[in-house]
Amino acid sequence: MDIIGEQVNLDDSTPGLVNDLFGQEDITVEKILLKLDEEDHVGNYCRLYILFLFVVFYFPRTSRIVSSFPFNLLDNLECLHMWNWGEVVHNYLVKTLDRASHLFRHQFGCVPVLQVCVKLCIMWCQFGNERCDLLIGLTLFL
């Protein structure tokens, strides 16, 4: 993936040729796979395959429907190298890791302590430590 080129805005949902393949249907991963099986035109097959890679591997989301993606960037396959895909993948990864870290920061009570105790218990039991039973009892008590 290139780290130079024009900026890619993942929130831009400008329609393109890929949208035309689906008509009024919602675009989901399952429907992309079905379209890949049906498609005979090489250019459209490549567009669908690249969309599948982006949606599943590079920019996975929790939503089943692919609604926010710059579909128009897949129109001209000859120009895909002009976009800064490396930066957008990096930014997406950092953003999702940051979002996940916020979930951990908001745990209250003894949940983090319990997580540490369970981890220690697993490590000690793997090495045959005789205090393993005591740590398991302490973990269950918490």
Distance between CA 67 and CA 10 in Å, rounded? 10
Query: Of the candidates 68, 18, 26, which has an alpha carbon nearest to the alpha carbon of residue 47?
Result: 18
Query: Is the whole-model pTM more than 0.75?
Result: no
**pLDDT values of the chain reduced to their tens digit, one per residue, 142 residues:** 656 788 888 888 888 898 899 988 899 999 999 999 998 899 999 999 999 999 888 888 888 888 778 889 999 999 988 988 888 888 888 888 777 777 766 555 555 666 666 666 666 666 665 555 555 555 554 4
Distance between CA 32 and CA 66 in Å, rounded? 10
Distance between CA 64 and CA 70 in Å, rounded? 17
**How do the domains of the chain map onto residue ranges?**
17-105, 111-141
Query: Of the candidates 4, 30, 1, 10, which has an alpha carbon nearest to the alpha carbon of residue 71?
Result: 10
**How confident is the model at residue 38, as a pLDDT?**
92
